[in-house]
């Protein structure tokens, strides 16, 4: 594992965008595995800036996202597809037909998981997977206790997550109760993994995930066993190491 300790979120985002840019330039038809959440927002903003400067071409790039809420259509403003369009896809010259996320409206959740893993395989696998990490060490929606050997699957969201999301929806009934997520197995199949962690609130879990034992109780700890992982973390997130 290669670790970059950087002073702040801005530096983390620029370095992550540098690494993704190198991938895009050296292999213009790369398959990028992407994440949502507040962690990668700054990285996407940098990529957009460099695209606007004429330094990046996304025309042959293919993307597969880590996760999506079950029950939401792609144009719902809380869907991850919407997030990706807002922060990246609508701002660069990527072909929307080359951007993939799990289908939140799929009828058969088991079939959807299998379809998504087959799709990734048919695309030739992920060249570089971008990840953030949750406060409990989750990656994607793989919460503590999730076995390491499963592919894309449908996850029951914790009641606390459902309640936290309630503010974005009119009624409790509208709040997604499930989500699709690449499994740890899917994530570990990526040829390269780039994980970003920032903020003091993630210092404790960063120490457990990358400097503690590998255990399903800390899903991100599995990354210690991947042959090509880059961790970029800011001083605040590294403060307990």
**Binders in 32-61 for ligand F6R, by CB under 6 A:** 35-39
Count interface residues toward ligand F6R (CB under 6 A): 13
Active-site amino acid positions: 67, 136, 138, 143
Does the footprint of ligand F6R cover residue 220 (CB under 6 A)?
A: no
The only residue of 33, 113, 132, 219 in contact with ligand F6R, by rule CB under 6 A: 132
Does the footprint of ligand F6R cover residue 138 (CB under 6 A)?
A: yes
Stretch that binds ligand F6R, among 8-16, 126-134, 144-152, 224-232 (CB under 6 A): 126-134
Residue 37 vs 109, nearer CB to ligand F6R: 37
Q: Please give, one letter per residue, the 3-state secondary structure of the chain.
A: CEEEEECCHHHHHHHHHHHHHHHHHHCCCCEEEECCCCCCHHHHHHHHHHHHCCCCCCCCCEEEECEEECCCCCCCCCCHHHHHHHHCHHHCCCCHHHEECCCCCCCCHHHHHHHHHHHHHHCCCCCEEEECCCCCCCECCECCCCCCCCCCEEEECCHHHHHHHHHHCCCHHHCCCEEEECCHHHHHCCCEEEEEECCHHHHHHHHHHHHCCCCCCCHHHHHHHCCCEEEEEECCCCCCC
Does the footprint of ligand F6R cover residue 104 (CB under 6 A)?
A: no
Stretch that binds ligand F6R, among 71-79, 115-123, 136-144, 152-160 (CB under 6 A): 136-144
Does the footprint of ligand F6R cover residue 225 (CB under 6 A)?
A: no
Residue 127 vs 140, nearer CB to ligand F6R: 140
Closest approach of ligand F6R to the CB of residue 66, in Å? 5
Closest approach of ligand F6R to the CB of residue 151, in Å? 15
Residues that bind ligand F6R (CB under 6 A): 35-39, 66-67, 132-134, 138-140
């Amino acid at each position: 594992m290669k670790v970059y300790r950087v002073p702040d979120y801005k530096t983390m985002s620029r370095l992550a965008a540098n690494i993704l840019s190198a991938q895009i330039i050296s292999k213009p038809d790369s398959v990028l595995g992407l994440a949502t959440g507040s962690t990668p927002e700054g990285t996407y903003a940098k990529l957009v800036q460099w695209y606007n400067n004429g330094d990046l071409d996304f025309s042959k790039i293919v993307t597969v996202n880590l996760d999506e809420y079950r029950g939401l259509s792609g144009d719902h403003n809380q869907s991850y597809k919407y997030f990706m369009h807002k922060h990246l896809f609508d701002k660069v010259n990527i072909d929307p037909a080359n951007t993939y996320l799990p289908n939140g409206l799929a009828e058969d959740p088991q079939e959807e998981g299998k379809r998504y893993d087959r799709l990734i395989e048919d695309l030739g696998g992920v060249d570089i997977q971008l990840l953030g990490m949750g406060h409990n060490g989750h990656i994607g929606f793989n919460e503590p206790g999730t076995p390491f050997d499963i592919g894309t699957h449908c996850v029951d969201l914790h009641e606390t997550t459902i309640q936290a999301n309630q503010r974005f929806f009119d009624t409790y009934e509208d709040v997604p109760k499930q989500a699709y997520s690449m499994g740890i197995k899917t994530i570990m199949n990526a040829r390269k993994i780039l994980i970003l962690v920032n903020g003091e609130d993630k210092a404790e879990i960063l120490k457990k995930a990358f400097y503690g034992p590998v255990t399903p109780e800390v899903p991100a700890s599995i990354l210690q066993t991947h042959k090509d992982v880059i961790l970029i973390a800011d001083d605040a997130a590294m403060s307990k190491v």
